[in-house]
Amino acid sequence: MSDRPAYDFERRVGALRDRLSHADLAALIVSHPPNIRYLTGFAGSAGLVLLTGDAVHLVSDRRYATEMEAIAAQGGFASLHVHVAAHAVADTIVPLVPEGDVGIEAEHLSLAAFRRFEAACRAAGRSGELIPAAGLVEAGRVIKDAAEIAVLREAGARLSAVLQGVMADIAAGLRETEVAVTLESGMRRVGFMRPAFDTIVASGPAAALPHARAGSRPLAAGDLVVLDFGGVYNGYCVDLTRTVSIGAPDSACLDLYDAVSEAQAAALSAVRPGVATAAVDAAARSVLERRGYGDAFVHSTGHGLGLEVHEAPRIGRLRPAPPPARAAMSEPETLAAGMVITIEPGAYLPGRGGVRIEDDVLVTGSGHDLLTTVRRDLVEC
C-alpha cells in the first residue's frame, strides 16, 4: 500500500514548492490519486494532500488508518503529517489551509467538490481564494528519477517476457479471451499488480477497432491479431503492442504491417532530448501518409507512462495552446531526458483489419533506450 522507502519525497515536495511560489500560491490541495502517491507514497483510493510552505498534510479515512500510520512511522520525511478523518476528508483539510491564495487541481477536482470546498472555506472565514491550478505536480512527474526509471525498466523487461511466452502459444482456434487470460495471468505471475487497462486481443475485422477489447471470436487463418496489453508494476505502468498473423498473411496484410513497422522505426529514431513531440508524431505520420494509410492512422503516436498509463507528454500533433493562466502549467512539447513514452503508430481498415506496433522508450541524455524488447517483425502463429 505504501512505496515510500525507494523515493526521494523531500526532493519532489521541494520542487513543487518552488512551482507554487512562482504561481504566488500559499498552498496546493492535491486531489488526484497519482499525484498524492507521487508526493507521499500513499496509494489508497481516497485521500487528499495539502502542501504548504512547511508541511505536507495527508488525509484519508479510517479504512486506511493502518497504511497511514506506517507511512508516518517510516519517518525520513520530516514535514509529513498524517490525519485520519473521522468524517469527510475535505472537512479535515479546511482548518489546516493557510492564509493566502491556495491552488486546487482544476483538471482533477469535480465542479461539485470545488464548490463544497469553497463553501467550507467561506464558512471558516478564510480570506484567500481558491485558484484553479493545473499541471503543477505533473510537471515533476514527467521527468522520471533514477528510482522510477529502475522500476519502469524492470517492468518493461517483465512485460516483454510475458508477451514473448504467450506469442509462442497463439494458434488458430483459440478465442480472443483465452489469449487475454494468458496475458493477464502471465502478468500476475511475474509480479504485476493488475492490468493497466482492458487487455486488447482483437482479431480479424475487430483489429480495425483501435479500442476493441477481447471477445469470444476464435482466431482464424488469415487474421491479423492486435495484442495490446499493459500492467502496473510497483505502481508504474507499462504498455506493449504487437500484431501477429494467424498463418501466412496475404499481400494486403503484409503491406499494412510493413508500413506501420516503417512508421514505428521512423518515430523511434526521432526520439532524443530536444526534439518536439510533434516531430516524433510527424515522423510516423508522414510514413503512413506516403504509404497511403494516412487516413487509417486515427490516433496519436504515443503518450507518457508512469504512475498513470496515459500521462504527459502526449506524442501527437501540436494542439492550440490553452490561454495562459496564473497556476496552470502546460504539458511539455519537447522531449527531455528522463521522459518515458510509448511509440505506437497504427493503421486500421474498417471491416478488414488493422496493425499497431508499440514499444516503451526512455529518453536518455543522448537518445533513447527501449524498455520493451519483443521481436518486431510479423510473426506467423
Q: Which is nearer to a copy of itself, 75 or 351 (CB)?
A: 351
209 binds a copy of itself per the rule CB under 8 A: yes
Stretch that binds a copy of itself, among 177-185, 260-268, 279-287, 333-341 (CB under 8 A): 177-185
Residue from the set 90, 98, 100, 108 that interacts with a copy of itself by CB under 8 A: 108
> How is residue 75 annotated by DSSP?
-
Stretch that binds a copy of itself, among 154-162, 210-218, 248-256, 372-380 (CB under 8 A): 210-218
Neighbours of 4 (CB within 10 A): 18
Which amino acid appears at position 274 of this protein? G
Nearest residue to 309 (alpha-carbon basis) of 200, 201, 205, 218: 200
Dihedral (C-alpha) 252, 258, 263, 264: value to the nearest 10 degrees?
Answer: 120
Asked if residues 58 and 83 have their Cβ atoms less than 8 Å apart, the reply is: yes
188 binds a copy of itself per the rule CB under 8 A: yes
> What distance in Å separates the CA atoms of residue 274 and residue 19, rounded to the nearest whole number?
22
Q: In the range 324-353, which residues lie near a copy of itself by CB under 8 A?
A: 350
Residue tagged 496509494 (cell numbers): 43
Residue from the set 112, 125, 321, 377 that interacts with a copy of itself by CB under 8 A: 112
Stretch that binds a copy of itself, among 63-71, 154-162, 241-249, 371-379 (CB under 8 A): 63-71
185 binds a copy of itself per the rule CB under 8 A: yes
Residue from the set 134, 166, 267, 280 that interacts with a copy of itself by CB under 8 A: 134
298 binds a copy of itself per the rule CB under 8 A: yes
Kind of pairing between the strands at 194-195 and 102-105? unpaired
- Give the Å distances, CA to CA, from 335 to 98, 230, 343: 36, 23, 13
> What distance in Å separates the CA atoms of residue 113 and residue 121, rounded to the nearest whole number?
12
Q: Which is nearer to a copy of itself, 8 or 129 (CB)?
A: 129
Kind of pairing between the strands at 302-304 and 311-315? antiparallel
Residue from the set 11, 81, 122, 211 that interacts with a copy of itself by CB under 8 A: 211
- Which triple of cell numbers denotes residue 297? 492512422
Nearest residue to 149 (alpha-carbon basis) of 371, 358, 359, 342: 371
Stretch that binds a copy of itself, among 75-83, 155-163, 186-194, 253-261 (CB under 8 A): 186-194
Q: In the range 221-280, which residues lie near a copy of itself by CB under 8 A?
A: none
- Which triple of cell numbers denotes residue 16? 513543487
Residue from the set 29, 50, 80, 104 that interacts with a copy of itself by CB under 8 A: 104
> How is residue 272 annotated by DSSP?
S
Stretch that binds a copy of itself, among 18-26, 108-116, 148-156, 336-344 (CB under 8 A): 108-116
Q: Which is nearer to a copy of itself, 141 or 368 (CB)?
A: 141
195 binds a copy of itself per the rule CB under 8 A: yes
Residue from the set 72, 157, 181, 381 that interacts with a copy of itself by CB under 8 A: 181
Nearest residue to 347 (alpha-carbon basis) of 303, 285, 304, 280: 285
Distance in Å, CB of 285 to a copy of itself, minimum: 14
Asked if residues 192 and 157 have their Cβ atoms less than 8 Å apart, the reply is: no
Stretch that binds a copy of itself, among 3-11, 89-97, 194-202, 370-378 (CB under 8 A): 194-202
Distance in Å, CB of 93 to a copy of itself, minimum: 16
Binding-site size for a copy of itself (CB under 8 A) equals: 45
> What distance in Å separates the CA atoms of residue 257 and residue 245, rounded to the nearest whole number?
10
Asked if residues 58 and 42 have their Cβ atoms less than 8 Å apart, the reply is: yes
- Which triple of cell numbers denotes residue 182? 494468458
299 binds a copy of itself per the rule CB under 8 A: yes
Q: In the range 39-58, which residues lie near a copy of itself by CB under 8 A?
A: 44-45
Distance in Å, CB of 193 to a copy of itself, minimum: 6
List beta partners, residue 244.
Answer: 225
Asked if residues 343 and 264 have their Cβ atoms less than 8 Å apart, the reply is: yes
3-state secondary structure of 81: strand
Binding site for a copy of itself (CB under 8 A): 1, 44-45, 62-67, 104, 106-115, 132, 134, 177, 180-181, 184-185, 188-189, 191, 193-195, 198-199, 208-214, 298-299, 350
